[in-house]
Amino acid sequence: MNILVTGGAGYIGSFASHRLIERGHHVVVYDNLSTGYKEFLHPKCKFVLGDIRDRELPARVMKDNKIDLIMHFAAKTSVPESIDNPLDYFENNSFGTMNLLQNCLKAGVKKMIFSSTAAVYGDTRKDFVSETDELMPINPYGESKVFGERMISHVHAAQGISAIILRYFNVAGASLDNQLGQKNPKANHLFHHLTETALGRQATMAVFGNDYPTVDGTGVRDFIHVEDIAHAHILAAEKLMNETNYLQTFNCGYGQGFSVLQALKTMEDVSGNKIPYEVLKRRPGDPAKVLALADKIKSELQWTPKYNDLKVICKTAFDWKNRPTS
């Protein structure tokens, strides 16, 4: 297949691009390098410097490269940043997706895999969330992704675009060979701060809230290794190429949760270093607990996670940040 990967020089997109090429697919990476890095590009991919909000370039790239399918990773993904700068998130994530869909129609590309998020569910009170649960996002990031999902659904109904929507839970970790990982210095997710503090690059780590109704009062998340997320995309792409007039949504998570303090203790164990932390008040937009019911992706895409181990997630994340070039 000829696959256009938007955001393919970023964290998750680079993993997917590498794994696609390893399976014999032809990959064109389309990225504005705002949070991506050329060093993450596979030597066999074609790279186009571009923005998903460009009115004409995406369609031209699709036509020139005879693209069969789009993997759409390009997005802003920080919940706190989305609260501070909501319009940036709607412009990039929502308008950007709309513009990409318009370019797909211009170029005659009718297959897309869309990166969504568990943030679309909001502060659910259920033990597990399924794909059919009501979408009630509590922050602009989650809302921007709901808009993307709904646009895809409407374009599917009106113009016949086939799509798979993958709702990620909390993606973390790095490749076992230490070649790919999260590099963005402005990253604001838990594992960035855990590794930076374990390595002494941060004096202390902030824990936002210890009064949630959870095992130890800190937020509980369904952490999933980035390699398992990348593999879900491979299976989704290969499924989609054999389908027409197809639209499905899948949760991507392990269905087991760990609290912030449990993740911190595990990172201490694998790194051999203490992680000082300070408890602060709850952060706006953070739910108490979000866990995936992922039976659907396992049955329909035959997705079998390989790295469902918090120690593996912590160790690969730590080793990546501790490499000599980091």
If you write DSSP's letter for every residue of 206-231 in order, what string do you get? EEE-S-SSSSSSS-EE-EEEHHHHHH
Q: How far apart are the first and last CA of the chain?
A: 34
The verdict on residue 217 lying in a domain is yes
Of the residues 141, 168, 212, 307, only one is catalytic, namely 141
Give the pLDDT score at 286: 86
In this predicted structure, what is the pLDDT of residue 142? 96
Give the whole-angstrom CA distance, residue 277 versus residue 175: 27
What parts of the chain have a pLDDT lower than 50? none
- Dihedral angle at the C-alpha atoms of 208, 123, 314, 41, nearest 10 degrees? -110
pLDDT reported for residue 326 = 60
**Alpha-carbon 303 to chain mean position:** 17
Q: Is residue 178 part of a domain?
A: no
Is the pTM above the cut of 0.85?
yes
The answer as to whether 326 is a domain residue is no
Question: Has residue 300 been placed in a domain?
Answer: yes
**141 among known catalytic residues:** yes
pLDDT at 287 (0 to 100): 87
Structure tokens at 86: 């909501």
At 127 the pLDDT is 82
Q: Are 5 and 44 in contact (CB under 8 A)?
A: no
The whole domain housing 88 covers 2-171+224-252
* Residue 202 sits in the same domain as residue 236: no
- Write down the pLDDT at residue 89: 97
Kindly state whether residue 184 falls inside one of the protein's structural domains. Answer: no
